[in-house]
């Protein structure tokens, strides 16, 4: 099934834009730029929206303005309005349990403690959507996680994240066309 909606999870505003938790927003910005899409605020979708064309397929790109913990409201409103099936949604988010400089694609699953995913699953009433998980590494101690995700990566980490965003961009056409297994093979062996 083709992907019709790509959502980046993050927190809106200048204070948050450099934080690791905004990896989903970073990917959407790179994606929209690459496919010459421009974001505009859409109050009915509680976010910023761009429409792009990937390999002949029209795709919506969404950055919710609801803050991470309420992302589902934005995603649900857009999916309902355009009658997009849950399985046609790709949610891009930061992932603590994946090494920095690595990205993985998966279908379905739990939220793994990620509040943006938790709210998305609740709002959509389903966990059966695709995820592009951008590895940001782990601080090593569970008690340091909240502080870790709400701070900017250092210079060497930024380089690794930029590389993985580029690698992810290289497989997005396959993902959108529904060739997810092929995209996984490519991305997971990079």
User: Which sequence positions are flagged as catalytic?
Assistant: 21
Instruction: Give the residue carrying structure tokens 């389903």.
Output: 126
Rounded to 5°, the CA angle 102-188-67 comes to 45
Q: Tell me the β-bridge partners of 84.
A: none
Closest CA to 23 of 63, 66, 50: 63
Q: CA–CA separation, 175 vs 75, rounded Å?
A: 19
Q: Please state, as a whole number, how many other Cβ atoms lie within 10 Å of the Cβ of residue 36.
A: 9
Calculate the CA dihedral of residues 122, 50, 170, 168 and round it to 10 degrees.
Answer: -30
How many DSSP H helices and E strands does the chain contain? 6, 7
For helices 71-81 and 115-124, give the axis angle rounded to 10 degrees: 40
Q: Tell me the β-bridge partners of 135.
A: 95
């Amino acid at each position: 099934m083709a992907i019709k909606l790509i959502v980046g999870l993050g927190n809106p505003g200048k204070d948050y834009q450099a934080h690791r938790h905004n990896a989903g927003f970073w990917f959407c910005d790179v994606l929209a730029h690459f496919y010459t899409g421009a974001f505009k605020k859409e109050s009915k979708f509680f976010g910023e929206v761009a429409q792009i064309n990937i390999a002949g397929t029209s795709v919506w790109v969404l950055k919710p303005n609801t803050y991470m913990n309420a992302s589902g409201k934005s995603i649900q409103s857009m999916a309902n309005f355009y009658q997009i099936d849950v399985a046609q949604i790709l949610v891009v988010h930061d992932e603590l349990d994946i090494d920095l400089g690595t990205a993985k694609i998966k279908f379905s699953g739990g939220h793994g403690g990620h509040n943006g995913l938790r709210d998305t699953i609740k709002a959509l009433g389903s966990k059966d959507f695709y995820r592009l998980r951008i590895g940001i590494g782990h601080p090593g101690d569970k008690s340091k996680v909240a502080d870790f995700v709400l701070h900017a990566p250092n210079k060497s980490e930024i380089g690794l994240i930029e590389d993985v965003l580029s690698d992810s961009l290289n497989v997005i056409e396959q993902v959108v066309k529904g060739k997810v297994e092929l995209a996984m093979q490519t991305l997971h062996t990079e």
